[in-house]
Structure 1
């Protein structure tokens, strides 16, 4: 893929390669770049239980692709202090491994702080892969609360670090065009290239189910063959509009009593039904279908649904959000209902399939439900093929390969 000789890249991430996120959103990209001829050295932080279970497989993958992996232990206690210890360990590893590399690629803020120091020390360009606006996400999600002295101090400290990272980086990568436009307005921005690489899906894993496969999974889950099924993939919580997801489904169920809400992941049924009741919603126990699965089994569960939901709390930091579940729904051929103000979701829906909630008023939910049957009737193969150039894993790999080859040029996977 690369048009010039491969680069020697030091890749820093605070996520573990044995974690589910590392398996889906880090390792495949690095393998693709290694196959393109780049020489990758990796520093990651691994949770003890996951490392014990998965280190052998990751080591084999790294060895097979000529990647040099330097796993570090992820510490969770004591609180706060453990993170400072990890940050120092990251900084030491970056300093030690930087010589002999041609650039440093840091995934998100914690890694980038260590990467910047090593880059300045060894006169290497830093690629700051921001992902999202992490300090703002922590604050808006309630991790760093305004009514807590420690929370305020952590937020202010990381915003200062953010400024230094943006000022000191040779190349920035964000997940959305909306985030690129925002960063370009910051006082700390120094007119370096800003590339846009969204969270992509592995289209070789997430595929369109046949009619027979769809009905087999429905039968196993106890879902009626012709029921309209709204799906949410992954966790729920502060980032997601859980109440509005329940309200959206309740609106669908009032129209079709056989409707089902399929939640893929580990969820507390009793808590969700209690919340629905507290909201005044009439969601019956049998209408709520919860299915936990290992990653290889997730696509078949998604394929049992008709439409995917991606309702995220709209905040300042949501400008930088690219939901992996959005790409995974589309890879399985499912249209997506998403709300306005979340990264590039509207532009993606305009080019693939789905419906944008203008807001979460009852009128907007009614409008979405009115379109449900038409969305469910779309040809899944066509939805998938419209999404592939935008959100398939090779598109992101080609983008990173191009950035490594020519870090002085910005790359955009998205055509909008």
Structure 2
């Protein structure tokens, strides 16, 4: 094995860098860590159609930020078996790269790649970061993706719940997205967890999501493109549709706003355009990440209703933080993530205990964010917390 700097990091993600999530919640952090002097190799699993479209863009970004990218092909079918095939490919590639680059840390995003991270720790003594994100196995069940009446899914669920405990016990550092998740992990009496659990929510690139990037001229041009008048009251939904998002409840909430204010329009910015029909009131679009701030800026209010459940205690909604960063009010529901912790502390965030509440748009006022928001949700803050974790493991 070739000797090398102890700042060599292997980052494993089953999400692709060409996915929207990879571009918003993986690459910006790793670019910041690279700037801090860490040599980072990324293995990710790319969907073929997205890889064909965006590989050049992502490779250029990685090159500009001194990130080494090792893309692998993601396989979707047959279910379960395809995942274990991908894992066998991942283990082989990770072993090859470790021989070449002698990694000191393996940083695993969520549960799938943690299987390989745990193996690398046991075999080579590499320090292991379990960046668990949410309670993934429980999310699959509660989201209806794994039916426990099916013996295969029941076996897979039990396998990952057993591994979850092993990941937590073996990890040299654990990352969770919410204070609520940290409390859950603490309640499980994980060995040494008090010292090794860090909360880093889904953060926002404030250079991109800034009101300063949305001039009056840009807003007027976008409104004209969308067929909106200056008097229209814009209710925004940003993100995917389905599984965890209470779409019907958000539509009902919008309709109650519409009953009070006939000028209300529902702007739906989603990659799932095929699931929503456009009409004079529902304006449905997909947008590139760099264009999203402009769409947010023309909105008066944003909705983010998420199904409350045990597993969603571990969730942090990127889109909610992005909208708040733009100074636009967000209405959400209780029972998920850190909304209880944030209630009353976060400007522009309105938490409903009852989704049948009759909305009064005058109640939701826009305001600029303060230091509390920046300390919690800025990309700069998130990168600084990851740097602290890395430095502690390498000290």
The normalised TM-score by structure 2 is 0.91
| Residue from 211, 215, 221 that aligns with 1:216 | 221
Partner of 1:71: 71
Partner of 2:243: 238
| Residue from 376, 385, 393 that aligns with 1:390 | 376
Partner of 2:187: 185
- Aligned counterparts of 1:239 and 1:168: Cα–Cα separation in 2: 30
- Tell me the SS of whatever aligns to 1:286: coil
- Map Cα deviations across residues 127-163 of structure 1 (whole Å, 9 max, x no partner): 1000010001100111101232222222111111111
- Aligned counterparts of 2:198 and 2:263: Cα–Cα separation in 1: 45
- Aligned counterparts of 2:135 and 2:316: Cα–Cα separation in 1: 12
> 1:42 Cα deviation (Å)?
1.5
- Tell me the SS of whatever aligns to 1:93: helix
Partner of 1:358: 353
- Tell me the SS of whatever aligns to 2:152: helix
Change over 3 Å in CA distance of 1:384–1:229 after alignment to 2 = farther
- Map Cα deviations across residues 352-391 of structure 1 (whole Å, 9 max, x no partner): 222101132x2xx21xx22x22424x34xx2377633321
The root-mean-square deviation of aligned C-alpha atoms, in Å, is 2.2
> Unmatched 5+ residue regions in structure 1?
274-283, 410-416
Partner of 1:322: 316
Partner of 1:375: 364
| Residue from 310, 322, 333 that aligns with 1:339 | 333
- Aligned counterparts of 2:266 and 2:57: Cα–Cα separation in 1: 35
- Tell me the SS of whatever aligns to 1:42: strand
1:275-290 alignment to 2 at 5 Å?
A: 285-290=279-284
> 1:85 Cα deviation (Å)?
0.5
| Residue from 295, 302, 320 that aligns with 1:308 | 302
> 1:9 Cα deviation (Å)?
1.2
Q: Does 1:225 align with 2:230?
A: yes
> 1:408 Cα deviation (Å)?
8.8
- Aligned counterparts of 1:62 and 1:267: Cα–Cα separation in 2: 28
Partner of 1:404: 390
- Aligned counterparts of 2:382 and 2:273: Cα–Cα separation in 1: 35
Change over 3 Å in CA distance of 1:310–1:408 after alignment to 2 = farther
- Map Cα deviations across residues 166-216 of structure 1 (whole Å, 9 max, x no partner): 111111000001101111111444434100000011111122134443333
Partner of 2:116: 114
Deviates more, 1:16-25 or 1:102-111: 16-25
> Unmatched 5+ residue regions in structure 2?
none
- Aligned counterparts of 1:260 and 1:113: Cα–Cα separation in 2: 46
- Aligned counterparts of 1:266 and 1:67: Cα–Cα separation in 2: 27
- Aligned counterparts of 1:156 and 1:356: Cα–Cα separation in 2: 34
The normalised TM-score by structure 1 is 0.87
- Aligned counterparts of 2:382 and 2:71: Cα–Cα separation in 1: 24
Change over 3 Å in CA distance of 1:23–1:354 after alignment to 2 = same
- Map Cα deviations across residues 267-309 of structure 1 (whole Å, 9 max, x no partner): 457x657xxxxxxxxxx94221112212221111111111111
- Aligned counterparts of 1:189 and 1:133: Cα–Cα separation in 2: 18
| Residue from 146, 151, 162 that aligns with 1:144 | 146
- Tell me the SS of whatever aligns to 1:22: helix
- Map Cα deviations across residues 213-272 of structure 1 (whole Å, 9 max, x no partner): 333322321223223221110111120111110111111111111111111024457x65
Deviates more, 1:351-360 or 1:324-333: 351-360
Q: How many residue pairs end up in the alignment?
A: 385
CA contact (8 A) 2:9 2:39 kept: yes
- Aligned counterparts of 1:62 and 1:408: Cα–Cα separation in 2: 24
- Aligned counterparts of 1:212 and 1:373: Cα–Cα separation in 2: 26
CA contact (8 A) 1:6 1:36 kept: no
Deviates more, 1:220-229 or 1:308-317: 220-229
Partner of 1:293: 287
